[in-house]
Amino acid sequence: MKLKSMATIFAAGVLALSVTVSYGQIRGGQRVRDRLQNRPKLADRLNQGREKSIERVRQILNLTEAQVASLRSLLDERRQAVQAVSQHARAKREALRNLTAQPNPNPTEIGNAVLALRQVREPIRQAQTNFQTGFENLLTPDQNDKLNTLKSAGRARGPLSRWRLLTPLLR
């Protein structure tokens, strides 16, 4: 009798504890979900960052509205070109990672995987080169002089650096 009552009390305690824990998890999960729903979406945050960068470049180089519109267009073209290739590049990187993780990797297969990854990166380099050339072509001679001054000064910060506009063209 005493053993049965102790077992019943123990079972009731375990049940109460599990209900309390699961209720806390549900509430905690709801709080996290509510916080995530109230945060701006990643695309919105990226777009805000892009617009701040465009505004900063506009101020640095004194761009006109037409030049800002052309810059947006160039950024969109580069993003689309990179997105088109990125999935394929991700698969090639994963294949290379799997090959190198093997206990006794085949050097020929690794070499072929590296070469395949380099071929996938070429369209990305081309998109960046097109972006740099297009950006430099939309600038006036004075703006180009200022950009070249920034390049030679080595001021590698901000959107000009992030967009690789202060580095030599990739060939």
> What DSSP assignment string belongs to 109-171?
HHHHHHHHHHHHHHHHHHHHHHHHHHHHHHS-HHHHHHHHHHHHHT---HHHHHTT-SSPPP-
Model confidence at 17: pLDDT above 70: no
List, as one string, the DSSP characters of 74-116. HHHHHHHHHHHHHHHHHHHHHHHHHHHHSSS--HHHHHHHHHH
pLDDT at 87: 82
If pLDDT is split at 50, 70 and 90, which confidence band does 93 have? confident
pTM (2 d.p.)? 0.61
Indicate the domain borders of the chain: 1-39, 46-162
pLDDT at 153: 74
**Which CATH number is 46-162 given?**
1.20.120.1490
60-89 pLDDT, tens per residue?
889 999 999 999 999 999 888 888 888 888
What's the distance, Cα to Cα, between the start and end of the chain in Å? 87
Calculate the alpha carbon distances from 37 to 26, 31, 43, 44, 107 in Å: 16, 10, 14, 13, 48
If pLDDT is split at 50, 70 and 90, which confidence band does 52 have? confident
